Structure 1
Amino acid sequence: MATSNSASTFDTFLEEKYIPLSTKAKVGIVIVAVLIPVALFYFLYFKTEAQKIDNLNRQIVSARKDLNRARKAARNLPRYKAEIEKTRKEFQEAAVVLPKTKEIPNLLRSISDLGKGAGLDFLSFKPGAEKQKDFYAEIPVDISIRGPYHNMGFFLDQVSKLNRIVSVNNITMGSPRKEGGEMLLSSKCRLVTYRFTNTQAKKSGKKKKKKR
Structure 2
Amino acid sequence: MNVNMKAEWQRLRGVDWRELDLREAGRWPVSLQAICCALALVLLFWGVYHFLAAPKMVRFDQAREQERALLQQYESKAYQAANLPAMRAQMATLESRMAELLEMLPTGAEVPSLLDNISDTALENQLSIDFIRLRSPVVQEFYIEQPFDIQVQGDYHRIAAFLSGVAGLPRIVTLHDFTLVPVEGQDTLRLSMLAKTYNHREPSAEAAEGKSP
Match in the other structure for 2:210: 207
Distance 1:205 1:111 in 2: 36
Cα distance in 1 for partners of 2:102, 2:115 equals 17
Q: Structure 1 114/202 Cα, relative in aligned 2: closer, same or farther at 3 Å?
A: farther
Query: How far apart, CA to CA, are the structure 2 residues paired with 1:202 and 1:111?
Result: 35
Match for residue 190 of structure 2 among 183, 186, 191: 186
How far off its partner does 1:95 sit?
A: 0.8
Is residue 2:204 matched to residue 1:197? no
Task: Indicate if the aligned counterparts of 1:128 and 1:139 stay in contact, CA closer than 8 A.
Answer: yes
Percentage of matched positions with identical amino acids: 27
Q: 1:125 aligns with which of 132, 147, 151?
A: 132
Q: Following the alignment from structure 2 to structure 1, what is the Cα–Cα distance between the partners of residues 99 and 209? A: 22
Retained in 2: the 8 A contact 1:131–1:139? Answer: yes
Q: Is the 8 A contact 2:172 2:197 kept in 1?
A: yes
When normalised by structure 2's length, the TM-score is 0.53
**Contact 2:154/2:188, CA 8 A, preserved across alignment:** yes
SS of alignment partner, residue 187 of structure 1: strand
Structure 1 residues 197 and 128, CA, compared in 2 at 3 Å: closer, same or farther? same
Check if 1:136 corresponds to 2:143. Answer: yes
Confirm or deny: 8 A CA contact 1:100 1:197 kept in the other structure.
Answer: no
Judged with a 3 Å threshold, the aligned counterparts in structure 2 of structure 1 residues 78 and 122 are, in CA distance, closer, same or farther, namely same
Aligned position for 1:99: 106
Deviations 1:19-48 (A, max 9, x none): xxxxxxxxxxxxxxxxxxxxxxxxxxxxxx
Higher relative strand content: 1
Identify which of 93, 107, 115 aligns with 1:86.
93
Residue 47 (structure 1) aligns with: none
Distance 2:127 2:142 in 1: 34
CA pair 89-174 structure 1, distance change in 2 beyond 3 A: same
Decide which moves more: 104-113 or 87-96.
87-96
Q: Does 1:168 align with 2:148?
A: no
Aligned CA distance change for structure 1 residues 87 and 203 (closer, same or farther; 3 Å): farther
Q: Give ranges in structure 2 of 5+ residues lacking alignment.
A: 1-81
CA shift digits 1:107-148 (9 cap, x unpaired): 121111111111111111111011112211111111111111
Q: What is the 5 A alignment of 1:44-59?
A: none
Q: What is the deviation of 1:195? A: 1.3
Structural mapping, 1:22-101, within 5 Å: 82=89, 85-101=92-108
- CA offset at residue 206 of structure 1? 2.5
